[in-house]
Amino acid sequence: MKVGVLGLQGDVREHLIALGSAGSTATIVKRPDELASVDAFVLPGGESTTIGKLLDRFELLQPLRERVRSGMPLYGTCAGMILMATDIAGREDAPHRLGVMDMAVRRNAYGRQVDSFEADLTVAGLDEPFRAVFIRAPAVERVGDDVEVLASCDDQPVLVRQGHMMASSFHPEMTGDARIHELFVAMAGS
């Protein structure tokens, strides 16, 4: 399976490595014709306002939304999760969103950059805890009936799935542990 990683901003290389370890062929996507050539897609973290603007400017926003709506598997981390949410809670909006996953998220809900933290998560489908890195992470404040919570931290969902879509408020690509990417690749291939 060929997985595209949006290459406009964020920790693109780390996602490519993790997806490779998870057994997929990963490639950077910056143009609509590159998007058309992949079977699944990853939206990395970064700054959601910037990534949204770039998606729009690079004419990827609408084609990506259409691909996902017609079933292409999508995984978004942190800012990527924000861009997937149908609703944004609080004062900080995220314009140019895909708005494909039924949930409400609040940007920067865990405080400022200095408040970034790590936690060991129990993840549905994994035998051992997963060390998760949170960096100015969004909080998931509501999930729709079709959204499954795969992991929580302090009673708040941090890894969620809705059909062919998965999103996490943490960065699984930063710890050299590819098990979350493996979950995504398995989900995308099933």
Tokens describing residue 88: 């944004």
DSSP 155-167: TEEEEEEETTEEE
SS3 146: coil
Q: Is 173 among the residues known to form the active site?
A: yes
Q: Which residue has the tokens 């609408």?
A: 62
Is 78 among the catalytic positions? yes
95, 55, 86: which is closest to 167 by C-alpha? 86
Residue 164 annotated in active site = no
Q: Which stretch binds ligand GLN (CB under 6 A): 59-67, 76-84, 159-167, 182-190?
A: 76-84
Give residues 39-68 in contact with ligand GLN (rule: CB under 6 A).
Answer: 45-48
Intra-chain end-to-end CA distance of the chain, in Å: 11
Report the distance separating Cα 91 and Cα 153, nearest Å: 23
User: Is there binding between residue 158 and ligand GLN (CB under 6 A)?
Assistant: no
Binding pattern for the stretch 2-41 against ligand GLN, x by CB under 6 A and - elsewhere: ----------------------------------------
Do 141 and 86 meet the contact criterion of CB atoms below 8 Å apart?
Answer: no
Q: How many of the chain's residues bind ligand GLN (CB under 6 A)? A: 11
Catalytic residue (one of 78, 153, 181, 182): 78
Q: Does 88 bind ligand GLN (CB under 6 A)?
A: no
Provide the 10 A C-beta neighbour count for residue 2. 12
Least spacing, CB of residue 101 vs ligand GLN, in Å: 16
Footprint (CB under 6 A) of ligand GLN, residues 100-129: 107-108
Residues that bind ligand GLN (CB under 6 A): 45-48, 78-79, 82, 107-108, 135-136
